[in-house]
Structure 1
Amino acid sequence: MIDLGYSLSRRFPDPPQTRYAEADVRTLRHDLFCGDVYLADVDADRELATAWGWVPVLDFAWALCDIVERLDRDPLGSRASRPQRAELDFTESADRLRLTRRFGWVQITADWAPDEAPLSFSHGELRREARDFLHDLVADLVDLHGDLGDNPVVWDLQARFPRV
């Protein structure tokens, strides 16, 4: 079972004058909602987590959903024997999450934890959990900043990646 989570940073708060309903894609993805994220394999009791405090958590959720879809482009789908690879890079760091899909399973490794064995999840489960994480995160952020719910970029994002 996958657990995706986040915490917002107190060291890097959003600017107080932010107008969330009008924030553009770049601002939403790179300038707001900084904190840390983690991916955990609950059954194996293992996780990959950032501890930097500056990771844009909405961008992480957005990028993870994008990558999971990109890993599904092979017409053979879960029968494809050729590995399909993607990377999630962190804007202010050289560190990356590396995702490799083969036969319907996705292995995830992190540059900052090179000695850790990869986390392994079924592609379908990762897709469902990534989308749930995105929608739960947006709901939490709208609770904190009500006018974010009026932002058309957020509407498009949620429509692009509906819950499975």
Structure 2
Amino acid sequence: MLDIGYSLSRRFPDPPQTDYRRADVQALRHDLFSGDVYLADTKEDRELSTAWGWVPVLDFAWALCDIVERIDRDPLGSRAAKPQHAELDFTESADRMLFRRRFGWVDVEADWMPRDEPPLTFGHSELRRESRDFLHDLIADLADLHEGLADNPVIWDLQARFPRT
């Protein structure tokens, strides 16, 4: 089973004067909501996580949903033998999370993983469902913490683009 989670950083708080209702895409994706993220295979008891404290968690959730759609563009879908590749690069770092889909499975690995460690592997449909659930749960959590965020049109568009499945 796949578990996707986050923790917000206490070292990098959001600026107190932020108007979350009017925050633009740049601010929402790169300037706010710093913390750490993880993907875990609970069945295998393995995890791929950051420990830097500065990862923009909303951007991670947004990018993860984008990537899941990007690696599903082959018209053959889960029958496609040709691997589909995507990467998530972290702002302010050379580190990347790498995604490789072949048939209905997605391998996830990162630059910071030991070379001899195998990638985490998830079913594509599970990754899609969990990524979207993570995005919606994260937005709900952040909206509880930050007045006006739930009224931001960028957030509305994001939720409409990636509805829960």
TM-score bracket, shorter-length normalisation: over 0.9
Query: 1:28 and 1:117 mapped to 2: Cα distance?
Result: 33
- In structure 2, how many angstroms separate the alpha carbons of the residues matched to 1:85 and 1:137? 26
Per the alignment, in what secondary structure is the counterpart of residue 66 of structure 2? helix
Question: For 2:48 and 2:3, how far apart are their aligned partners in 1?
Answer: 11
SS at match of 1:15: coil
| Aligned residue number for residue 22 of structure 1 | 22
Query: What is the CA deviation profile of residues 14-48 of structure 1, one whole-angstrom value per residue up to 9, with x for unaligned ones?
Result: 00100000000000000000000000000000000
Q: In the alignment, which residue of structure 1 is the partner of 2:146?
A: 145
2:57 matches 1:31: no
The superposition leaves residues 59-88 of structure 1 with CA deviations (integer Å, 9 ceiling, x where unpaired) of 000000000000000000000000000000
Q: Which runs of at least 4 in structure 1 moved beyond 2 Å after TM superposition?
A: none
After superposition, residues 1-164 of structure 1 pair within 5 angstroms as: 1-115=1-115, 116-164=117-165
Read off the aligned partner of 1:163 and give its amino acid letter.
Answer: R
Identify the range of structure 1 (107-116 vs 141-150) with the bigger mean alpha-carbon deviation: 107-116
Instruction: Give how far 1:117 is off.
Output: 1.2
| Separation in structure 1 between the aligned mates of residue 118 and residue 149 of structure 2, nearest angstrom | 38
CA deviation profile, 1:70-107 (whole Å, cap 9, x unmatched): 00000000000000000000011000000000011000
RMSD (Å) for aligned C-alpha atoms: 0.5
**1:57 & 1:141 partners in 2: Cα distance?**
10
* Residue ranges of structure 1 left out of the alignment (5+ in a row): none
Three-state SS of the structure 1 residue aligned to 2:148 is helix
Please report how far the alpha carbon of residue 146 of structure 1 lies from its aligned counterpart in structure 2 after TM superposition: 2.4
SS in 2 for 1:60: helix
Identity between Structure 1 and Structure 2 (%): 77
Q: Aligned letter for 1:136?
A: D
